[in-house]
Amino acid sequence: MEYRSQSVAKLYFIAAIGLFVGQILFGLIMGLQYVWGDFLFPAIPFNVARMVHTNLLIVWLLFGFMGAAYYLVPEEAERELHSPGLAVALFWIFLIAGALTILGYLFVPYSGLAKLTMNELLPTMGREFLEQPTITKLGIVVVALGFLYNIGMTILGGRKTVVNLVLLTGLTGLALLFLFAFYNPDNLVKDKFYWWWVVHLWVEGVWELILGSILAFVLIKTTGVDREVIEKWLYVIIAMTLITGIVGTGHHYYWIGTPEYWQWWGSVFSAMEPIPFFMMTLFAFNMVNRRRREHPNQAAVLWALGTSVMAFLGAGVWGFLHTLAPVNYYTHGTQITAAHGHMAFYGAYVMIVLTIISYAMPRLRGQEAADPKAQVVEMWGFWLMTVSIVFITLFLTGAGILQVWLQRYSENPLPFMVVQEKISLFYWLREIAGLVFLVGLVVYVWSFFVKGGERRVPAAEPVA
Amino acid sequence: MSEVFTKSMARNIYYGGSLFFILLFLALTFQTHQELPKRDNRAAITEKVALGKRLWEENDCIGCHTLLGEGAYFAPELGNVYVRFGKNKDAIKGFIASRPENGVPGRRSMPQFHFTDEELDAIAEFLKYTSEINTSNWPPNING
Amino acid sequence: MAARSSGNTAARPLPGDLAIWFFILAELLVFGVFFLAYAFARAGHVELFDHYQQTLDRTSGAVNTLVLITSSWFVVNAVSAIRANRADLCTRWLLAAMGGGAVFVAIKLHEFMAKAEAGITLSTNTFYMFYLSLTFFHFMHVLMGMVILGFVAAKAYRGDYDADHHTGVETGASYWHMVDLVWIVLFPLVYVMH
């Protein structure tokens, strides 16, 4: 690495991967509960396993984004981080607060946790993905402000590249939109309306700016293609993201009590949300094709290309399949939703974090790229996880189609629980795929400890 | 393509396009808020309903169920459960109160929350209120 | 800073910056999809659509069509002017085009206010939903187009363009023509055809 303060990223990346493992373990618990209904009941009921699974996902991705920022911003800005000390302090605050929250979910009944944390003073608990006690949410805001201050000051005093500015815009948007998590009216329709201002405008909005800027950074570094070309593409991609995604929020406003014109506006604009993802695929492959060098870190290049494909498939294609109102009328709130959600989150956000870790971690450890044997193991991890997610998605899609047919569409619709029993084969298959995913994750983690092999592409002299 | 395709034009489209659609979205949001009173059943939001919503949240019902199609997919949709249970609050209250402490062996199980009668009534009222929101004829049938 | 256009116009199939053409394509795609949605919705509610179409102010719509076509002609003249190195004339033609846009905006606002006074909103019925959505969306594009022409006019006034370097003018002109084209489809489709 070029700047010593980039080393703080290592802490964030290690925490990210650790929390990722936790997320998957709880995912497997949930998958088993789908078919073995009272597994771990009442010690860990399904909803507790779920909030641990989803909250760990979001938190580890945030650690990943922060690590990515701490790594790439100094390099882009061509100066040291404003305050490495603050970065380390915020790391521990975030990690400890997060850990305490997760332990709270597991060891205290949720309503007890609400009383313990004085939820009644400003009630924000009990919404999906926003299960954190209000005090945790306030802590997140503090950590986010500190983080933005640190990164912002670094950029302010250094080179303001497009990559830096787009990343900062995405991260600032993330922080600002999170404030809507504090708005929890008694009016259920308004509650839901603004909840999506956090969730949709995150993952189909500002998070795409973060994704795009990290991808652009990795492509600049690994392909050697002119920055001007890459940054131009980045602008076009994020323009299309916001042009389609902002009004595209309307695809969550079909059936929640909001006016019916959203069925038209939401369908038209959300149908075009795959476009920026498709452009990202073209962008990634085009830049790699036009590369001016063979970078020794082939694993990172694989992750970058893989991200662009899987994000398009998971977010773009699977999203499109159920975004039009006439289709969504039947698929809303079914396993179709779960299928899309898993491939989209993995393809776009899990993979971009693993991409930047793949690129940056060797450099943080003093090499231009990991040893060839380590890269091979890492690539095995890539394929095992990616193919597993595809199968998880396919199985959930199968479950979803059958569920929609039996419970929503057919002439004699069946009750929810009856249908769940009938589609349980798909759940068993999904769980097996999930186990393979875990194997892939273990292989991936192991790759960080593998050494040796002969480089076909010579690495540059050891990085300081 | 050696067309003149400049970074600054791309940047301008990003700025202009984003601002345009933010403004449009805010306009639609404003319009939505004007329409909502006719659809969101707000007249039915009594203190009891508000308490019911608070209990719904503090017991994380959304962690297993969906409400108007949003939430978890482990247990049934509850936006229309009031109708599904024959517009009978007692049926809802009875169901919640009768969940076995240690679940049903081998089957997906719902916790026993030990609610008071007042709390059960509040939850039922909340679910009744929810069932009367105009959701454009969703769900497609009684099963939710 | 205006981008440099190549001197050899024969080799360039599209005037102006290519980025705007990606954007124009995207715009045409959205409007196209909206128009298709309109056609689809109309097919399911022919009587409703025919009935409420009668309540639209066709005169205003026709006048607005002429206004936009005229302003597009002004823009064509602006491009010719700068190609002949007449930045001063270019500026004036662009201002005239913006004036045309302003007339369109005024007439449109009058139309919207009349509907608002009659208590018509996006939720009144499907026809009005489409009418208001399509015309409002287009209206916002006219405003955006005027902003773009304004920027281009300012740069022309400052002397940023000449006969060899005026991609910005062509870019702005292309966008304005697109806005005009959309209206030329929208007006007959929504106001007239039954």
β-strand partners of A123? none
The answer to whether C122 contacts B17, with C-beta atoms less than 8 Å apart, is no
Closest CB to B31: pick one of C1, C3, C122.
Answer: C122
pTM reported for the whole predicted model: 0.95
Q: Which residues of C touch A264 (CB under 8 A)?
A: 37, 41, 129-130, 133
**Residue A462 pLDDT:** 54
In terms of Cα–Cα distance, which of C23, C139, C21, A268 is closest to B17? C23
CA distance A33 to A29: 6
The topology under which CATH files domain C16-192 is: Four Helix Bundle (Hemerythrin (Met), subunit A) (1.20.120)
Task: Note whether C151 and B9 are within 8 A (CB).
Answer: no
The answer to whether B73 contacts A333, with C-beta atoms less than 8 Å apart, is yes
Closest CB to C17: pick one of B1, B4, B31.
Answer: B4
- The subunits that touch chain C, with at least 3 C-beta pairs less than 8 Å apart, are A, B
Is the ipTM beyond the 0.90 threshold? yes
**Residue B126 pLDDT:** 98
Phi, psi of A265 (to 5 degrees): -60, -45
Write the DSSP symbol of residue B82: H
**Residue C2 pLDDT:** 41
Q: Is residue B140 reached through a cis peptide bond, with omega within 30 degrees of 0 on the bond before it? A: no
The answer to whether B133 contacts A33, with C-beta atoms less than 8 Å apart, is no
Cβ neighbours of residue A219 closer than 8 Å, sequence gap 6 or more: A225, A230, A283, A284, A287, A288, A304
Please tell me the total number of residues recorded for chain C in this structure. 194
In terms of Cα–Cα distance, which of A202, A274, A184 is closest to A57? A202
CA distance C54 to C49: 9
- The subunits that touch chain B, with at least 3 C-beta pairs less than 8 Å apart, are A, C
Write the DSSP symbol of residue A462: P
Q: Which residue, of A110, A125, A160, is where some domain finishes?
A: A160
Q: Which residue of B lies nearest to A396 if distances are taken between CA atoms?
A: B73
Cβ neighbours of residue A415 closer than 8 Å, sequence gap 6 or more: A407, B76, B143
- The 3-state DSSP class for residue A257 equals coil
Phi, psi of B5 (to 5 degrees): -130, 90
CA distance A230 to B86: 60
Residue C7 has pLDDT above 70, yes or no: no
Q: Which residue of A lies nearest to B68 if distances are taken between CA atoms?
A: A256
The answer to whether B13 contacts C19, with C-beta atoms less than 8 Å apart, is yes
Q: What averages of pLDDT result for each successive group of 10 residues across chain A (464 residues)? A: 95 98 98 97 98 98 98 98 98 98 98 98 98 98 98 98 98 98 98 98 98 98 96 96 98 98 97 97 96 96 98 98 98 98 98 98 96 98 98 98 98 97 98 98 98 75 51
Query: Both B85 and B19 in a single domain?
Result: no
Q: Which residues of B touch C8 (CB under 8 A)?
A: none
Phi, psi of C118 (to 5 degrees): -80, 5
Closest CB to A264: pick one of C26, C29, C129.
Answer: C129
For A414, the domain range is 310-464
Cβ neighbours of residue B18 closer than 8 Å, sequence gap 6 or more: A239, A242, A243, A246
CA distance A438 to A388: 9
Residue C10 has pLDDT above 70, yes or no: no
Task: Please report whether residue A183 resides in a domain.
Answer: no
B30 and chain C: CB distance < 8 Å anywhere? no
The answer to whether B53 contacts A186, with C-beta atoms less than 8 Å apart, is yes
Q: Which residue, of A139, A160, A181, is where some domain finishes?
A: A160
Buried/exposed B19-32: b ≥16 CB within 10 Å, e otherwise: ebbeebbeebeebb
The total of structural domains in chain B comes to 2
The total of structural domains in chain A comes to 2
B4, B6, B14: best to mutate for the A interface, most A CBs within 10 A: B14
Share in percent of chain B as helix, strand, coil (round to 5): 55, 5, 40
Task: Please report whether residue A188 resides in a domain.
Answer: no
How close, in Å, is residue B11 to chain C by CA atoms? 10
Query: Both B101 and B49 in a single domain?
Result: yes
Closest CB to A261: pick one of C26, C30, C129.
Answer: C129
How does residue C8 score in pLDDT terms, banded at 50, 70 and 90?
Answer: very low
Query: Both B34 and B46 in a single domain?
Result: no
Q: Which residues of C touch B16 (CB under 8 A)?
A: 144, 147-148
CA distance A244 to A273: 5
Write the DSSP symbol of residue A5: G
B11 and chain A: CB distance < 8 Å anywhere? yes
Query: Both B11 and B76 in a single domain?
Result: no
- For residue range B26-36, list pLDDT tens digits in order: 999 999 999 99
Residue C121 has pLDDT above 90, yes or no: yes
In terms of Cα–Cα distance, which of A50, A140, A52, A42 is closest to A95? A140
Q: What is the DSSP string of C88-136?
A: HHHHHHHHHHHHHHHHHHHHHHHHHHHHHHTT--TTS-HHHHHHHHHHH
Query: Both B60 and B11 in a single domain?
Result: no
Task: Note whether A316 and A277 are within 8 A (CB).
Answer: yes
In terms of Cα–Cα distance, which of C62, C40, C34, C45 is closest to C137? C34
CB pairs under 8 A between A and B: 227
The answer to whether C144 contacts B35, with C-beta atoms less than 8 Å apart, is no
Residue C1 has pLDDT above 50, yes or no: no
**Residue A55 pLDDT:** 98
Indicate the angle between helix axes A372-403 and A351-364, nearest 10 degrees: 170
Task: Please report whether residue A423 resides in a domain.
Answer: yes
Within the 209-238 window of chain A, which residues sit less than 8 Å (CB to CB) from chain B?
A: 228, 231-233, 235-236, 238
Q: Which residue, of A143, A160, A177, is where some domain finishes?
A: A160
C135 and chain B: CB distance < 8 Å anywhere? no
Task: Note whether A375 and A21 are within 8 A (CB).
Answer: no
CA distance A87 to A8: 7
The answer to whether A125 contacts B14, with C-beta atoms less than 8 Å apart, is no
Across the range C52-79, mean pLDDT stands at 97
**Residue C11 pLDDT:** 52
B58 and chain A: CB distance < 8 Å anywhere? yes
In terms of Cα–Cα distance, which of A221, A265, A239 is closest to A68? A221
**Residue A454 pLDDT:** 85
C130 and chain A: CB distance < 8 Å anywhere? yes
Cβ neighbours of residue B39 closer than 8 Å, sequence gap 6 or more: A189, A257, A258, A259, B133, B134
For B77, the domain range is 42-144
Indicate the angle between helix axes C167-186 and C87-117, nearest 10 degrees: 30
Residue B6 has pLDDT above 70, yes or no: yes
Q: Which residues of B touch C5 (CB under 8 A)?
A: 4
β-strand partners of B70? B67
Q: Which residue of B lies nearest to A238 if distances are taken between CA atoms?
A: B14
CA distance B7 to B2: 13
The answer to whether C19 contacts B9, with C-beta atoms less than 8 Å apart, is yes
How close, in Å, is residue C6 to chain B by CA atoms? 8
The answer to whether B4 contacts C18, with C-beta atoms less than 8 Å apart, is yes
